[in-house]
Amino acid sequence: MQQGQRIYFLGDFHLGVPDAERSLAREKRIVAFLDEAAKDLPNGQAGAAEIILMGDLFDFWFEYARAVPRGHVRFLGKLAELTDRGIPVHLFIGNHDMWIFDYLPKETGVIVHREPVERVINGKHFLIGHGDGLGPGDHGYKMIKTIFRNPICQWAFARLHPNFGLWLGDLLSGRSRRKNYENDRKWLGADKEWLVHYSRERLQEKHFDFLLFGHRHLPIDMEVKPGARYINLGDWIGYYTYGVFDGTEVKLMKRVGDGPLSADVRITGGPAV
């Protein structure tokens, strides 16, 4: 990182829901944020060193060999613009868009990650991932994830006509989200939070300064061990929250309108409930 640059973390956009009109409004707000993050600010702060997208960008995504879901062109174009300008954009695949294959890397230049990644940035140790299927419990989802990631199952789904396959995917994804979304926004207590358990397990192996995840849809910033913070990025459906690393620390921020980033407010003190 150059002096004054920042790294931004955000995700769980679930573009495509609940309907085209509201999804488009959310998409425009995300694009406006990326514009702000990428440019130099009046106070002399340099533009983004990297953008890290934490997954579930779309509520459902499947790439056929010659067809992809309609829509999201403003967002996809902005990703291509950022990478064309030399800003690395990393994408951690989520459970709603695990069927991203080579289209986004080829067309937009994003760097795709399918598993959590360890990184050292400016001397700080990071563990970064979407967060699905980690930690104890949720055995039903872990089994489904194994099936959905199976190349044979992916090949079989690709045999469906895109009109039917994408309709079916939207239907099943929407049912899952409606069933789980409100529960996802409830703080369960540290003893029942799977990503808290997972963070503490990984910290027994080695030290991380920051363990950053999405998936949970609840903004969380808590110390899970002295000097180690678990941060969940929340979502861009109801919270509009993101993380920013300034070279020294990570701040969990809440977007305030579509103005300058300096107007955003910091979230501290555990889960934002």
**Tell me: the pLDDT tens digits for 179-203?**
566 666 788 888 889 999 999 999 9
CA distance 196 to 231: 10
Query: Which structural domain range is residue 91 located in?
Result: 6-271
CA angle in degrees (0–180, nearest 5) for 120-126-128: 125
Radius of gyration over every alpha carbon of the chain, rounded to an integer in angstroms: 18
Confidence check: pLDDT of 131 > 80:
yes
Please indicate, yes or no, if residue 1 is contained in any of the structural domains. Answer: no
* pLDDT at res. 230: 97
pLDDT bracket for residue 163 (50, 70, 90): confident
Three-class secondary structure of residue 184 per DSSP: helix
Please say whether the beta carbons of 34 and 78 come within 8 A. yes
In a domain, 145, yes or no: yes
The answer to whether position 105 is within a domain reads: yes
Query: What's the rounded Cα separation, in Å, for the pair 200 and 100?
Result: 30
User: What is the spatial distance between Cα 224 and Cα 206, in angstroms, rounded to a whole number?
Assistant: 13
Average pLDDT, the chain: 89
Q: What's the mean pLDDT in 60-85?
A: 94
Q: If you average pLDDT over residues 220-239, what whole number do you get?
A: 96
State residue 40's pLDDT score: 65
- Of 76 and 259, the structure prediction assigns the larger pLDDT to 76
Contact by Cβ (8 Å): 115, 129: yes
Name the domain count of the chain. 1
Which CATH number goes with the domain that contains 169? 3.60.21.10
Asked whether residue 158 is assigned to any structural domain, the reply reads yes
Q: What is the Cα–Cα distance from 50 to 93, expressed in whole angstroms?
A: 17
Is residue 27 included in any domain, yes or no? Answer: yes
Query: Rounded to an integer, what distance in angstroms lies between the CA atom of residue 170 and that of residue 49?
Result: 34
Position 140 scores a pLDDT of 64
Is there a domain that residue 92 lies in?
yes
- Give the residue with greater pLDDT, 206 vs 159: 206
231: pLDDT strictly greater than 90 = yes
Q: Is residue 88 part of a domain?
A: yes
Question: What confidence category does residue 160 fall into, taking pLDDT thresholds of 50, 70 and 90?
Answer: confident
Answer yes or no: is 224 within a domain. yes
